Homo-oligomer: A and B are copies of this chain.
């Protein structure tokens, strides 16, 4: 069960005015929520830097499904790392292009390695690793 606490921030009145305008544009309804998000972001960065805990990443790749043997190679690779790959989403972008998102769980270096392999596969046009979190350590 989570316990809420409260602390005060002293800030120049012009600075908070600009902050309010910016977070309003981003859809935040309270300052607290925007600040909690910045704090969580900083903690996720550190989680990935330290590399000790289990974490979560998503790997996004765009590829042409006509590329011979690519789909086979991707499937094969994913089966070898089935302990880490939790789930995948496949989208047909047009007649030729597919987008695939993989949700991967593990130590940061393991996730990076899987991402490197997938992005480096011949036929993958574009790939990126997004570093997120299991959410366990973030309230």
Contact = CB atoms under 8 A, between A and B. Distances in A.
What's the dominant secondary structure at chain A's contact region? mixed
A27 B89 contact: no
B60 A130 contact: yes
Identical copies in the complex: 4
A13 B18 contact: no
Contacts of A117: 26-27
Interface in A61-89: 62-64, 86-89
A interface, size bucket = 35 or more
B27 A120 contact: yes
Interface in A111-127: 116-117, 119-122, 124-127
A32 B11 contact: yes
A100 to B, nearest CB: 10
15 contacts: A2-B13, A3-B13, A6-B9, A11-B35, A15-B40, A15-B139, A19-B42, A37-B127, A38-B39, A38-B42, A56-B93, A58-B99, A87-B89, A93-B135, A94-B136
Interface of A: 2-16, 18-19, 22-23, 25-44, 46, 56, 58, 60, 62-64, 86-89, 91, 93-94, 96-97, 99, 101, 103, 105, 116-117, 119-122, 124-128, 130-139
CB-based closest 6 A-B pairs: A97-B135, A89-B89, A12-B139, A27-B120, A27-B117, A26-B116
